[in-house]
A and B are shown apart, each in its own frame.
Chain A
Amino acid sequence: MRFHLKMSSTKYLVMRNYRHHQIVFLFVAGFAFLAPASNAQQIIVDSSLLDRIATLEKEVADKKHGDDHFMVAGLATFGFVANNTTIAGNSTKSNSFPDADHFEFSPLLLWRHGNKFLLEFEPSFDGSSLGVNWADVSWFAAPGFIVRAGYLVLPFGTYSKRLAAGWIDKLPTDPTGVADVPPTTDFGVEIEGGLPLGNMKWSYDVAISNGLQLMPDGQMQSAGFSDNNKNKTITARLALLPLSNSSLEIGVSGMFGHVGDEGSSFESSKTDMYALDLNYVKLFNPILLNIKGQYNYIHVNDQQYLNPADSSSYSFDNTTKTGFAQISLRPTGVSSKWVKNLEVAFRYGNYTTPHSSLWGEKTDVTEFGLLYWLSWRTVFKLGYTASKSASSTIGLEGVKTVSNSFFAQFAIQL
């Protein structure tokens, strides 16, 4: 029994070795047979890949971008306003779709020439006319030194240059008087830059432009393409960001120049204007606090004006003061996507034009806004504006006007 087992075991081992050799032989033979075919396939695949890579390289070369780049951005604002105005006790109601004073479609054309030059052109359609917000060329000459020329937004305060766009402004309207008094777009040359200052940061912005033109009633408008006198107006802003996280910015601006037409009775007239601006944005989790404000002081030296009603000569202290303070809160730190896209805003504005002029008035404006952000650059706003004003014009002092408006507005950056 034991012998039988031994013989069987020997036979089993011989048989197993034989099968093992058979498998090795078949594997080697198979490999020898298949290897040339596999190599051929490899060559075919490599060739196909090389062709594909060559095609892609050609496509990339065809689409290779040069140093220049052109793009279109811009903004659009559209909405509805319902208004109730009471003047000296007489009320009128109106509603408009879109809100006539706040419709804007402004494509922004940006053309970059390498990394040193940028052309900016922003035409704007406001519902009644096609104008130009700015058209200029900037040269990024050195770190902290940018030179710009063309049709510029002057560095007087920050609202016109940074905050006026519908998708940036937290409320449906511009702060009364701040956006367009004085006119802040002009033809000229500008130098500007932002520079580090240890933990702080500072910036400067200086422009020389044609300047403003004093009108017969004492108001001012932009002199436009052709200067109305030989004098040039200097506008400058100096700002400091004292905190290392750039959350606080304080700016001081000034604008100085002659404003009278050459050879006219206003030839000696000149203006000195100042603006203070403040910006504070900080996350106090979960609330993002946003405070903004600007105060403009506009003065023209004493002049004799002509009253068109009776051709009499008169004078007044031609000083205009306007400003706003704004706060907005957004719960960006909450988990609810719906809630974190909400924002509430409040703004108070005051606009006081010269007493005893033909356009004297004191206006207080209170505004509330509720915003819902559809994306970082797309917003739907609901706003309520209450405005109270009292006239202080020659012969018409104390006439009160009360105006209440409801706004629904959509704004997008394109």
Chain B
Amino acid sequence: MKKISLGYIITIIWSLLVVAIFSTFPTGCKVSQKVAAKTGAQLWAENCQRCHNTPSPSSFSHEQWETIGLHMQSRALLTDAERDKIVDFLKQ
């Protein structure tokens, strides 16, 4: 019996992910009302803590939050709407 390598298994998982994502394209890449209604505070709590503690808004100035927003968007791969809402919340 031919041995199935881990590479093949991962390729299959990857393919399934691609199919799952692209099969939803008729409605995909559109945000649901539930997600669109989220506030900046909610997105801040949900997304920042995926990697580190939630930052205090007082830690940086408004301009610094704008810069950090771009930096973190590319690290955590936030959507543009998430970045804008989170930065607006942190600037309050």
Contact = CB atoms under 8 A, between A and B. Distances in A.
The yes or no verdict on A and B being binding partners is yes
Interface of chain A, main secondary structure: strand
B75 to A, nearest CB: 6
A203 interface: yes
A246 interface: yes
A167 B14 CA distance: 31
B34 A244 contact: yes
Contacts of A252: 10, 13-14, 17
Interface residues on B, range: 35 or more
Given A65-B63, A246-B47, A299-B7, A373 B53 contact: yes
Interface in A194-227: 194-199, 201-203, 205
Given A65-B63, A71-B67, A73-B68, A162 B55 contact: no
A146 B71 CA distance: 11
Interface string A253-290: 01000000000000000001011100101000000100
Interface string A64-77: 01000101010000
Interface of chain B, main secondary structure: helix
B29 A194 contact: no
A410 B17 CA distance: 39
Contacts of B68: 71, 73, 110
A162 B28 contact: no
Given A112-B67, A148-B74, A246-B50, A199 B14 contact: no
Given A115-B66, A162-B51, A240 B74 contact: no
A161 to B, nearest CB: 7
Contacts of A205: 77
A149 interface: no
A193 B64 CA distance: 22
A196 B81 CA distance: 9
Interface of B: 6-7, 10-11, 13-14, 17-18, 20-21, 24, 27-32, 34-35, 46-47, 49-56, 59, 63-64, 66-68, 70-71, 73-82
